């Protein structure tokens, strides 16, 4: 089961999720100061904040059992970059960045941690994966883990301007073993009768994206609208696309969901980078009726034909330990009720 925001707040207060105090946002005006909540808390996760130094790496790595992240840094770091006043992470490069938050699961029986890139991170084609000391897997920290956290960041299409406190990844705390409740197949919507584009393809050699520039970038400077061909959409090798699911997605308020590949052999493409859905996403009472899943698709190796309705992923549903105090869509959201939606950094295309 996944812990909700109120339990995560308790773990922060206890120092289980530790680090520099995050900024807080007050509840409505009649709330007491003690009711202020960290702005990093989401319904079923906590946003992880970048620290002040980015290390340019020769290669990605996993520390391996009983080894520290520092050992990999010593072997693979080319140079360090102070991002205090902002710095650009270049495409084609790999960076390792300490996270402000740490984790201490000692004495917390049955608790483990998992991570995903945030939705906006995936839609920018930024590869982001969490590691810790002794990690043998990306984005997974076992029961009993205690120590710092690091994020591997690799921009693929757009250079990105980052600063301390920027949030590229989110951490969830799981209680007990992973026990999926159900699965929903997700397929591609390439309907020939839809008005407008069926997707967008990233323009190579575009400008920089400022991670704090919400709505500040002209979309058509970075994206080319894609329309369906006679037989579907041919993915070009190593090109990045934003597409949408044919199915509406609804996450019950007592569940969360993660997108997972159907099969590693479904074709020459990858269908998603950021695949976590909070409780309340797509729920009509939360303003999300008709929400689609946005798919971050990258072609590989050879041109590959995608057809309308082709299955590309599963949504794997998992129970929450309890309903979150705040659901997805409370107070507004960038992606609730979305159809074909670019990252929030881009102004709407008129």
CATH number for 297: 2.70.40.10
Instruction: Label residue 232 left, alpha or beta by phi (over 0 means left) and psi (-120 to 50 means alpha).
Output: left
The total of structural domains in the chain comes to 2
Q: How far apart are the first and last CA of the chain?
A: 42
Its domain, for residue 58, covers 5-175
pLDDT of 37? 54
Residue 31: pLDDT above 50? no
Per-residue pLDDT tens over the stretch 65-84: 989 999 999 999 999 999 99
Q: Which of 59-68, 71-80, 218-227, 324-333 has the lowest mean pLDDT?
A: 324-333
Reply yes or no on whether the pLDDT at 253 is more than 70. Answer: yes
Average pLDDT in the chain: 88
Residue 160 pLDDT greater than 90, yes or no = yes
Are residues 277 and 160 both part of a single domain?
no
**CB distance 278 to 256 below 8 Å:** yes
Query: Could you identify the residue written with the tokens 């693979």?
Result: 76
Query: Are 169 and 191 in a shared domain?
Result: no
Q: Name the pLDDT band for 194 (thresholds 50, 70, 90).
A: low
Query: Radius of gyration (Cα) for the chain, nearest Å?
Result: 20
pLDDT band at 118 (very low <50, low <70, confident <90, very high): very high
Query: Which of 148, 175, 202 lies at the terminal end of a domain, its last residue?
Result: 175
Question: Of 121, 141, 175, which one is at a domain's C-terminal end?
Answer: 175
pLDDT: which is higher, 110 or 287? 110
Q: What CA–CA distance (Å, rounded) separates 134 from 136?
A: 6
Q: Shortest CA distance to 342 belongs to which of 119, 156, 190?
A: 119
Q: Could you give the CA distance from residue 55 to residue 76 in angstroms, rounded to a whole number?
A: 9
| Residue 9 and residue 153 in one domain | yes
Q: Do both 17 and 132 map to the same domain?
A: yes
- Higher-confidence residue of 25 and 323: namely 323
> Could you give the residue ranges of the DSSP H alpha helices within 21-79?
69-76
Which 3-state string (H, E, C) describes 168-203? EEEEEEEECCCCCCEEEEEEECCCCCCCCCCEEEEC
Residues 227 and 108 in one domain: no
């Amino acid at each position: 089961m996944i812990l909700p925001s109120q339990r995560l707040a308790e773990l922060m207060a206890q120092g289980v999720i530790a680090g520099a105090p995050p900024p807080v946002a007050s509840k409505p005006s009649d709330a007491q100061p003690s009711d202020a909540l960290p702005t990093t808390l989401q319904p079923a996760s906590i946003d992880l904040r970048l620290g002040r130094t980015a290390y340019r790496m020769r290669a990605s790595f996993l520390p391996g059992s009983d080894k520290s992240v520092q050992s990999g840094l010593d072997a693979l770091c080319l140079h360090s970059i102070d991002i205090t006043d902002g710095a650009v992470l270049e495409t084609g490069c790999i960076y390792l960045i300490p996270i402000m938050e740490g984790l201490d699961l000692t004495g917390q029986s049955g608790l483990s941690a998992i991570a995903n890139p945030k939705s906006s991170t995936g839609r920018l084609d930024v590869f982001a994966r969490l590691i810790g000391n002794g990690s043998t897997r990306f984005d997974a920290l076992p029961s009993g883990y205690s120590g710092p956290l690091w994020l591997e960041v690799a921009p693929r299409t757009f250079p990105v301007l980052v600063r301390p406190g920027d949030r590229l990844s989110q951490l969830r705390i799981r209680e007990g073993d992973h026990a999926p409740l159900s699965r929903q197949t997700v397929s591609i919507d390439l309907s020939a009768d839809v008005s407008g584009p069926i997707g967008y393809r990233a323009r190579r050699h575009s400008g920089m994206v400022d991670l704090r520039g919400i709505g500040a970038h002209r979309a058509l400077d970075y994206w080319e609208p894609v329309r369906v061909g006679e037989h579907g959409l041919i993915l070009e090798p190593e090109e990045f696309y934003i597409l949408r699911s044919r199915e509406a997605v609804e996450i019950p308020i007592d569940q969360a969901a993660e997108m997972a590949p159907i099969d590693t052999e479904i074709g020459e493409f990858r269908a998603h980078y950021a695949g976590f859905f909070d409780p309340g996403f797509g729920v009509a009472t939360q303003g999300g009726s008709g929400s689609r899943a946005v798919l971050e698709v990258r072609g590989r190796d050879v041109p590959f034909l995608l057809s309308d309705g082709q299955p590309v992923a599963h949504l794997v549903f998992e129970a929450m330990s309890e309903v979150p105090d705040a659901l997805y869509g409370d107070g507004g959201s960038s992606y609730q009720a979305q159809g074909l939606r670019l990252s929030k950094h881009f102004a709407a295309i008129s």
